[in-house]
Every structure is written in C-alpha cells, then in structure tokens.
Chain A
Amino acid sequence: MKRFASFADNVLPWLTLATMIAALAMVFLYVPNERVQGLVQRIFYFHLPSAWNTFLGFFIVAGASASYLWQGSRFADLLAQAAAEVGMVFCTIVLVTGSIWARPIWGVWWTWDPRLTMVVVLWTIYAAYLLLRHLAGDTEQIARYAAVLGIVGVLDIPLLHIAVRLWRGIHPKVDKMAPEMMWTLLVCTAAFLCLFTWMLWLRLRNLSLREEIVALRRQALATT
C-alpha cells in the first residue's frame, strides 16, 4: 500500500500526462482516417476506453462492496464510493462521445440500440448509488446498504445484457483494424487507464482525509 501510494503520488500524474499527450498526438496526427466514416471516427479512440473504464469502475464497486460486507474494512467502503464517482464520470463521457459520433453517422443523437440502452441504465444505477450515499447520510448502516446496491447492481449487468440483446442491435462491431488504429487504441486505453487510476486515487485519498478530519473533530470536541 505504501509503495503504491508513493507511485500514485509521484509517478502516476506524469505517466497520465505523458500517455495522454501521446494518445492525443496519435489520434489527431498519426492514425489514418477511417474509410467510410472519415474524421468523426476518431472519437472512437476516446469512446471505447471510457466504456471499458465504466465497466472497470462497476466491477471495482462490486468487489469493494463484497469485501466491505464480509470483512468490514473502512478502506473497501471508501474505495467503492470513489470508484462509483469516477465510474460515473466515464459513463457520462461514453454517453456524450457516443452521441456526438451518432449524430453524423446514424443521423440521430440517440437511438435505442442495446448497448446504448445498457449504458444509460448503468448510468442510472450509478446515479442511484451516489444518491443513496449523498441523500441518506454517512453512517455505517448506509455504507452497508450502498454495498448491497453495488453488488445487486453488478448482478444486474448480465441480466440487462441478456434482455437488451434480445432486441435488435445496430452498434458497429470492430472486427478488423489497421495496425495504426490498433496502436492508437492501445495507447488511448493505457492513457485512460492511467487517468482512471489517478482520479480514483485522488478521490480515495480525499475521502480518507475527510474521514480523518471528522474523527479528529470528534476527538477535539470530546476533550474540550
């Protein structure tokens, strides 16, 4: 943990910066235009990594929630909360970038394609999780409820997948990519993964500092 902390504080910001600059350069300067879709397709290099981050956030929420329910460590609870918040950000990015792409390609801002439906429902599950956290207060009981919601939410993903898959889909499937595109996607994914980890770390530290302040204040009040 100590070693990860020093890595996250000293190396990760610069790593994120470097990969992000490389990703931007590759997206705008290096990778060739897609033959059919043209310029617009370049948004895909931000869209797909964000989508992966959304799911990653979800699974971290579920894993941390399960660990909190079974072992009751405060750290797992904070991790779940931080992951939900960061995941929400990326989920929003997925929806926005997808919408920008869909307008010129599909001709509409929004359509009820299975994956779109799925991401928007995931967004509402995230929103419900964060609302529960914010509206209901910050007690141990609420933390446990949030953990239950996090676990059931992730159980819901495969069901959602089945249900929306049975509709018909028009989402583009990537089967063959030029090597330049492959590399760009890879660098973008690395950049977004770094960004995700860094944001998660900042939020996590922020939350635990707040926790500490509350504890110190309580102590101070008790002694005076």
Chain B
Amino acid sequence: MLALLWKDLLLEFRTKERISSLFVLSLLIVLVFVFALSPQQIRGPEIEAALLWVTLVFAGMLSLQRAFLLEQERGCFSGLLLTPIEPGTLFLAKMLSNVLFLLLVEVIVAPLSLAFFGVPFTRSLIVLPVGLLLGTVGFSALGTLFAAIAVRTRAREVLLPVMLLPLLVPLLIAAVKVTSAVLTGEDWTGVWFRVLLSFDIIFVVTGWLIFSQVVRE
C-alpha cells in the first residue's frame, strides 16, 4: 500500500499539476466569495465554516476527477489490477493520496480564507486542522469510490458531483458544525465531533469493502 501511495505522490511531485491547479482553483473560489458577499457586511465564524467547506468540496471534486484519470488513459489501472494487490488496499492508497493533496492545499487556503473574511483564528489554529482532516477523510473515502466509477463512464465530469454531493450531505453538515464550533471557540469535541468521526469510519469501511465490485473487469 505504501508503494502505491508513494507512486501517486512521486507522480505528483514530478509534475505538480494537481496541487498547483487545486491551489489556484480554491483560491479563486475564496475570491469569488469575497466579491459576492463583501466581507464588511457578512462575517462570522459560522458563515466562514460553510464557505471553507464549499471551497474544499469544489476543489476536492477537481482533485478526485484527476485521481484515476492518468491511470485510466494509459491503461495502467488494468495493470495494477493484474498484480496480486487487494482492491481494498488500492482503494486505501488512492484515498490517502487524495487526503494528502487536499490537506496540503487546506494548510495554505484555510488561513488565507480566514484572513480574508476577518475571522480571528489564532486560537483555533491548532485544532482547526483536526476538523478539516476528519472532514477530508470522509470526503476522500466516498469521493475515491465514486471517482473510480465516474472515470469509466461517458459523462464523467457531470456524474461525479451528481453522485457524490447528495451522499456527502450528512458528512458536510457534521463537518461544518465541527469547524464552526472550532472557529467560535466553543467546545468542539461534542456530539457533532463524534458523529463526524463515525461517518468517517463508515465511509472508509464501505469504500474498502465495495471497491472490489467497482474495479472488477
């Protein structure tokens, strides 16, 4: 699994395509929000938490679109399936590489977005990554599963968000609640935190179990 993960990371470090496009895209989304909402009038940690997650979801969608594209185009994925690797392991590696890419982007974009909207964040700087990480894990788990499906269909650009977004609703509600609790300085380890954690576990296990059905040829 580590080798698979390393392969994805190495590919990325050689080209830096995914990270750079992700970074620019999420920055642009933040800017669109800034112009659309004019931060002088609308501010507040709750809104900021929602904006942050909308940004991450759309940027993450782009990242997922590319997750299987390279392998699919070159027929490399069939090669991977021929090796005696469990499909579940393949899934975990793909998911982890996606989590890492998104986290790298979040580390830069989240403080920028907070700063643009004038949300005081010095206190929450240590715990905020925890909330983001938990949300990202669930997002990537479900996302990797459906990206693998969407990449082998014709209308893949439309189908991925259409399939993924409704299923993500419960996770997103929980992620926004945890993030907003972190930003307002409330107790963030409450019920939403546990809900988010259990959603993560459910999504990862589901993906891990069912992935073999998706890639079977």
Contacts and interface: CB of A to CB of B under 8 A. Distances in A.
Interface in B161-217: 162-163, 165-167, 169-171, 173-174, 191-192, 195, 199, 202, 206, 210, 213-214, 216
A145 B153 contact: yes
B191 A166 contact: yes
The prevalent SS among residues of A at the interface is helix
Interface in A144-187: 144-145, 147-149, 151-153, 155-156, 159-160, 162-164, 166
Contacts of B173: 163-164
B202 A155 contact: yes
Contact of B158 (A135, A141, A156): A135
A108 interface: no
B166 A163 contact: no
Contacts of B210: 148, 151-152
A127 B153 contact: no
Contacts of B152: 141, 145
Contacts of B163: 128, 132, 149
Nearest to B167: A156
Nearest to A161: B170
Given A159-B202, A163-B195, A148 B149 contact: yes
Contacts, number: 82
Contacts of B3: none
Contacts of A137: 153-154
A128 B168 CA distance: 13
B69 interface: no
A111 interface: no
Interface residues of B, number: 30
B82 interface: no
A162 B170 contact: yes
A128 B162 contact: yes
Given A135-B159, A142-B153, A159-B202, A148 B167 contact: no
Contacts of B171: 159, 163
A43 interface: no
A28 B113 CA distance: 57
A163 B159 contact: no
A149 B153 CA distance: 14
Interface of B: 142, 145-146, 149, 152-155, 158-159, 162-163, 165-167, 169-171, 173-174, 191-192, 195, 199, 202, 206, 210, 213-214, 216
